[in-house]
Structure 1
Amino acid sequence: PVGLKPPTFTNDDVSRTFVRKMGSSFSLMCNGQGSPAPTT
């Protein structure tokens, strides 16, 4: 799949911490995704 725009990075984060209860689910967002989201 190919997006219309190449990946871009909007910040200079070195690391980021997420606090969640043990056993809970969560999503990690990827700053390097193309835009709009690629389709097949």
Structure 2
Amino acid sequence: MSDKPDVSEIEKFDKTKLKKTETQEKNPLPFKETIEQEKAAA
């Protein structure tokens, strides 16, 4: 028995059946200017 997982099914996987999705940033980082303003206020 091997320690490595069985990847034979992964090799047969058809990527064309996947749906295209748009990724959206849910928690975007603040702009550099915003960070500087908050530092200055503290």
**TM-score per shorter chain, which class?**
under 0.3
Q: Which one has more relative contact order, counting CA pairs under 8 Å at least 6 apart?
A: 1
Give the structure-2-normalised TM-score. 0.21
Give the structure-1-normalised TM-score. 0.21
Higher normalized helix content (fraction of residues):
2
Q: Which one has a bigger Cα radius of gyration?
A: 2
